[in-house]
Amino acid sequence: MTFVSVENLSINFRIYHDRSPSLKEYFANFFKKKSPTVSTFVAVNNVSFQLSAGDRVGIVGHNGAGKSTLLKALCRVYPASSGNVQVEGRIAPLLEIGAGFHPEFTGRENIYLNGSILGYTKSELQGMESDVIEFAELSEFIDTPVKYYSTGMYMRLAFSLATAMHPEILILDEVFAGGDISFMEKARARMHSMIDKANIMVMVSHDHHLISSLCNRVIWLDHGKLIADGSPDEVVNQYLNAMTKMQ
């Protein structure tokens, strides 16, 4: 059974306010036992929600609202400061374009490197290799080191790999940013195909039209707090109206 359960989740980061000391100042402060000035930033603040198979969830909010931090908590990148995250199902995280790619490796080599990071076996990667290359439209450049790839080429390869095997849970963070129109249409079609197979999808995007077209539920975060959780039209309109009043 595929599900995601987030209960009273908070994620805190320590912020150091002292400027980087010189070597002399460091030793002076060390012998004085002077501690650096530290404060706590609450990136996610007591958030709870449940996801089950078939959910297509978009997360909206201003920059710094905690959206990407929440996604990374679902993928076990960030541990919970308090509360609990429970995930049942295979996750394919696409959090950063080209994350896990080695710049000196070719696109083909990075399929195996990044694929192993995503949890695929060598035999699974061999089976999906041709599909990944074809979908990404990179046949001509697949044996070129990815340090020569454009941002769009990075995105196409990363998206193609992450969506090649219909994971049970797909996590997307602004994955469609920077793509050309023709590829975005292909990517949306693939997303709809994956959604039809009842996988959970959680995505962050500033493209509200994209969220409305792909999602059946939207969560609005503001300063780490869950403000609303409901239908795309309802929550997106609430968020946009709130943003308009702040301008």
Domain layout of the chain by residue ranges: 54-81+89-246
| Residue 165 to residue 145: CA distance in whole angstroms | 24
Given a contact cutoff of 8 angstroms between Cβ atoms, the answer to whether 5 and 86 are in contact is yes
Report the candidate in 60, 83, 73 with the shortest Cα–Cα distance to residue 229. Answer: 60
243: pLDDT strictly greater than 70: yes
For 231, counting Cβ atoms within 10 Å of its Cβ (0-12 exposed, 13-18 middle, 19+ buried), the class is middle
pLDDT in tens, 183-211: 878 887 887 777 777 679 899 988 888 89
Q: In Å, what is the CA distance from 217 to each residue of 30, 32, 107, 213?
A: 52, 55, 35, 11
Given a contact cutoff of 8 angstroms between Cβ atoms, the answer to whether 165 and 85 are in contact is no
Q: In this predicted structure, which of 31-40, 94-103, 232-241 has the lowest mean pLDDT?
A: 31-40
Q: What angle do CA 122, 107, 138 make, to 5 degrees?
A: 115
Rounded average pLDDT over 230-237: 96
Given a contact cutoff of 8 angstroms between Cβ atoms, the answer to whether 97 and 175 are in contact is yes
pLDDT of residue 29: 64
The pTM of this model reads 0.77
DSSP states of 213-239: HH-SEEEEEETTEEEEEE-HHHHHHHH
Q: For residue 174, what is the DSSP state? A: S
Given a contact cutoff of 8 angstroms between Cβ atoms, the answer to whether 80 and 13 are in contact is no
Which CATH number is 54-81+89-246 given? 3.40.50.300
Q: In this predicted structure, which of 7-16, 19-28, 41-50 has the lowest mean pLDDT?
A: 19-28
Given a contact cutoff of 8 angstroms between Cβ atoms, the answer to whether 92 and 169 are in contact is yes
Q: How many helices (H) and strands (E) does the chain have?
A: 8, 9
- Residue found under tokens 């004085």: 32
